[in-house]
Amino acid sequence: MTTYVTTPIYYVNAMPHLGHAYTTIVTDVYSRFKRLCGDNVRFQTGTDEHGEKIAEAAEKEGVSPREYVDKISRAFQDTWPLLSVSQDYTIRTTDPDHVETVQRILQQVYDQGDIYFSEYSGHYCKGCERFLTEKELVEGLCPDHQVAPQKRAEQNYFFRMSAYQQWLIDHIIANPKYITPERYRNEVLSFLSEPLEDLCISRPVSRLTWGIPLPFDERFVTYVWFDALINYLTGIGYPESPDFDTYWPAAEHVIAKDILKPHAIYWPTMIQAIGLPPYRRLHVHGYWNVDNTKMSKSIGNVVRPRELVDAYGVDTLRYFVLREMSFGLDSSFSTDAIIDRQNSDLANDLGNLFSRSLAMIRKYAGGSVPAAVPAAVTDDDRELVTAMEAMIASYEQQMNDFSFHKALQAVWEVISLMNRYIVTNAPWELARDEGNNERLATVLYSLAEGLRIITLVVQPIMPAAAEKMAAALGIAERVSQAELAKDGKWGGTKAGTELGPLPPLFPRIDNKQKTKKTPDSRQKETKKKKEKNAAANEGLISLEQVGQVELRVAQIKAAEKIAQSERLLKLKVLAPEERTIVAGIAQYYTAEEVVGNQVIIVANLKPAKLMGVLSEGMLLAAKEKDDNGKERLVLTTVAADVAPGSRVA
* Spatial distance between the Cα atoms of 370 and 125, rounded to a whole number of angstroms: 66
Per-state percent for the chain, helix, strand, coil, to nearest 5: 45, 20, 30
Nearer to ligand MSP, 18 or 407 (CB): 18
Q: Where are the alpha helices (DSSP H) in 426-436?
A: 427-430
| 96-111 vs 267-274: helix crossing angle, rounded to 10 | 70
Range 15-50 burial, b when 16+ CB lie within 10 A, else e? bbbbbbbbbbbbbbbbbbbbbbbebebbbbbbbbbb
34, 37, 98, 142: which one is catalytic?
142
Point out which residues bind ligand MSP (CB under 6 A): 8-11, 19-20, 22-23, 48, 228-229, 231, 255-256, 258-259, 287-288, 295
Nearer to ligand MSP, 256 or 265 (CB): 256
Q: Which helix (H) or strand (E) holds 356?
A: helix 352-365
CB of 415 to ligand MSP, least distance (A): 28
Nearer to ligand MSP, 321 or 408 (CB): 321
* Spatial distance between the Cα atoms of 413 and 127, rounded to a whole number of angstroms: 43
Which residues have a Cβ under 8 Å from the Cβ of 497 and sit 6 or more positions away? 368, 369, 448, 473, 474, 475
| 404-425 vs 314-324: helix crossing angle, rounded to 10 | 110
CB of 194 to ligand MSP, least distance (A): 24
Nearer to ligand MSP, 226 or 395 (CB): 226
Q: What is the largest CA-CA distance in the chain?
A: 94
The number of CA neighbours under 13 Å toward the Cβ of 648 is 24
CB of 29 to ligand MSP, least distance (A): 14
End-to-end CA distance of the chain: give it in Å, rounded: 45
* Spatial distance between the Cα atoms of 645 and 578, rounded to a whole number of angstroms: 10
Nearer to ligand MSP, 127 or 204 (CB): 127
71, 126, 145, 572: which one is catalytic?
145
CB of 20 to ligand MSP, least distance (A): 5
CB of 10 to ligand MSP, least distance (A): 4
Nearer to ligand MSP, 231 or 455 (CB): 231
* Neighbour count for residue 488 (Cβ, 10 Å): 22
- 200 catalytic? Reply is no
Q: Which helix (H) or strand (E) holds 54?
A: helix 52-61
Nearer to ligand MSP, 227 or 381 (CB): 227
Looking at residue 343, the DSSP 8-state letter turns out to be I
Nearer to ligand MSP, 99 or 228 (CB): 228
* Spatial distance between the Cα atoms of 18 and 422, rounded to a whole number of angstroms: 38
- 20 catalytic? Reply is yes
How far does Cα 558 stand from its chain's mean position? 44
20, 98, 283, 570: which one is catalytic?
20
Contact of 14 with 68, CB cutoff 8 Å: no
Beta strands in 26-82 (DSSP E): 40-48
Nearest to ligand MSP by Cβ — which residue?
A: 19
CB of 507 to ligand MSP, least distance (A): 28
* Spatial distance between the Cα atoms of 20 and 289, rounded to a whole number of angstroms: 13
* Spatial distance between the Cα atoms of 264 and 19, rounded to a whole number of angstroms: 20
- 285 catalytic? Reply is no
34, 37, 125, 468: which one is catalytic?
125
CB of 72 to ligand MSP, least distance (A): 10
The 3 state secondary structure assigned to 244-286 is HHHHHHHEEEEEEHHHHHHHHHHHHHHHHHHCCCCCCEEEEEC
Nearer to ligand MSP, 282 or 600 (CB): 282
34, 50, 128, 261: which one is catalytic?
128
Looking at residue 500, the DSSP 8-state letter turns out to be -
CB of 581 to ligand MSP, least distance (A): 38
Amino acid letter for position 123: H
CB of 270 to ligand MSP, least distance (A): 11
Which residues have a Cβ under 8 Å from the Cβ of 437 and sit 6 or more positions away? none
How far does Cα 561 stand from its chain's mean position? 47
Nearer to ligand MSP, 10 or 395 (CB): 10
Is the backbone of residue 469 left (phi > 0), alpha (psi -120 to 50) or beta?
alpha
CB of 35 to ligand MSP, least distance (A): 22
Nearer to ligand MSP, 124 or 412 (CB): 124
53, 171, 257, 294: which one is catalytic?
294
CB of 561 to ligand MSP, least distance (A): 47
17, 98, 285, 468: which one is catalytic?
17
> Phi then psi for 537, rounded to 5 degrees?
-65, -25
- 37 catalytic? Reply is no
Active-site residues: which are they?
Answer: 17, 20, 125, 128, 142, 145, 294, 297
